Amino acid sequence: MRQQWFDEARFGMFVHFGLYSGAARHEWVQNYEFLTDEEYRQYFENFDPDLFDARALARRAKESGMGYVVLTTKHHEGFALWNTAVSDFNSVAACGRDLVREYVDALRAEGLRVGLYHSLIDWHHPDFTVDVNHPRRADEDVAALNEGRDMARYREFLHAQVRELLTDYGQIDYLFFDFTYPEPMDGLAGKGPEDWDAEALLAMCRELQPEMLVNDRLGIPGDFVTPEQYQPTSPLVVDGVPQVWEACQTMNGSWGYHRDNTEQKPATLLVQMLADSVSMDGNMLLNIGPDGRGAIAPRDERTLAEIGEWMRLHRGAIVGAGHAGFEPPREGVYTRRGRKLYLHLLSWPLGFVHLPGLAGNVRYARFLHDGSWLRASAADPGQKAVNMTPAGEAEGTLTVHLPVARPDVLVPVIELTLSED
């Protein structure tokens, strides 16, 4: 099954790197500030990723417990991180380095799955028509700007670049296209699947890399869906069919390096989001945006190191785990791997946690971080509340007894060994 490795991995790293990294104020800076090609050119002329170290990046991903990495080969700005034959707007022309080659070699050396991101959009290309998302959308005469632009020629260019990526870099495990937006706005057109010739593009992917996963952003069904910057509240199902999905999340709301952004998510929240995703049979793709010299920002390094330490102790509750099918207590969420049921405690209760429906079905309970045993008992539903004696719990409830002090880990996890599958 094509997505078996993906379901197993559960946790990946997204890497947004491009000319916008030097601009250092969001990957959509060209759009947000209505910058022309001439105004944006300074970031190309000064692109010098002397601290971009693909091997260090791959090691950091692996040490953080991630099983795959996804690099932006080209974002909406149109700048390619490889030696594309169909454009000189690329990293080899700018700095003499094929960063995609360095990246895929480094991932394979660490045993990680190779993912590529490729924008369907290209604001630099002369045939890409000005639309609702284009940096020139506010110009006085958009119609005049679009005279002579030919989306058929752009489609040839788009398909040629994707073909290069899928033929020149060995086995590719994952391709993230971005994105389709058919709805018009303010009198300007969007772009739909026909603008990319999505069916032919997907067919080429299947021909060149038959085992590769392709996401859902061509505007036609793909292998998995990609909720972005929010957490679903239940396993994703469409017309009764469970969906393979991946929550795409940032460290701080920006995908590209944003020097002045101070909204960094704490590592505890990110681990809670990861556990939440896996509890609903989803993956989490966590982004970093290397800075203008290609280095991982110190704040991201610190966060990844914290997550990596938690994953070192709790890997079994994430990798290879999924939806449990049991009703969790109000304090947390479950993940499950075979007979191992994992309770991720998102809040810390006083003295006890009550688990509905598990009485008689748990052979052993322990904290996962240190392997220490936890006492478990079946609650008496008829017990009356008197002074320091709590009322009984519903029939079939298992009570796990906890220390007053919360374990010093980002998210405490109780491992429950079930009596039966």
pLDDT for residue 150:
98
Residues of the domain holding 353? 332-418
Of 179, 180, 277, 175, nearest to 236 by C-alpha is: 277
Specify the pLDDT at position 421.
64
Beta bridge mates, 188: 185
Q: pLDDT tens digits for the chain (421 residues)?
A: 789 999 999 999 999 999 999 999 999 999 999 999 999 999 999 999 999 999 999 999 999 999 999 999 999 999 999 999 999 999 999 999 999 999 999 999 999 999 999 999 999 999 999 999 999 999 999 999 999 999 999 999 999 999 999 999 999 999 999 999 999 999 999 999 999 999 999 999 999 999 999 999 999 999 999 999 999 999 999 999 999 999 999 999 999 999 999 999 999 999 999 999 999 999 999 999 999 999 999 999 999 999 999 999 999 999 999 999 999 999 999 999 999 999 999 999 999 999 999 999 999 999 999 999 999 999 789 989 999 888 889 999 999 999 999 999 999 999 999 997 6
User: Domain for residue 242, yes or no?
Assistant: yes
CATH code at 284?
Answer: 3.20.20.80
Beta-carbon count within 10 A of 364 CB: 12
Q: Which two tokens stand for residue 332?
A: 């947390």
The pTM of this model reads: 0.97
Compute the distance between CA of residue 114 and CA of residue 259 in angstroms, rounded to an integer.
28
Indicate whether 273 and 336 sit together in one domain: no
- Of 324, 315, 357, 360, give the one whose Cα is nearest residue 343: 324
- Choose one of 317, 340, 366: the last residue of a domain: 317
Give pLDDT, residue 260: 98
The CA-based angle 390-396-397, given to 5 degrees, is 40
CATH number of the domain residue 391 falls in: 2.60.40.1180
Same domain, 196 and 83: yes
Are 75 and 25 in contact by the 8 Å Cβ rule? The answer is no
Q: Are residues 358 and 308 in the same domain?
A: no
Q: How much is the pLDDT for 179?
A: 98
Query: Does the residue 344 lie in any domain?
Result: yes
252 within domain boundaries: yes
Task: Tell me how far apart the alpha carbons of residues 51 and 20 are, in angstroms, rounded to a whole number.
Answer: 16
> Is 324 contained in some domain?
no
How many domains is the chain built from? 2
Is residue 375 located within the same domain as residue 399? yes
| Whether residue 305 sits in one domain with residue 359 | no
Contacts of 139 (CB under 8 A, 6+ apart): 130, 145
- Whether 268 and 354 share a structural domain: no
Q: How far is CA 157 from the centre of its chain?
A: 27
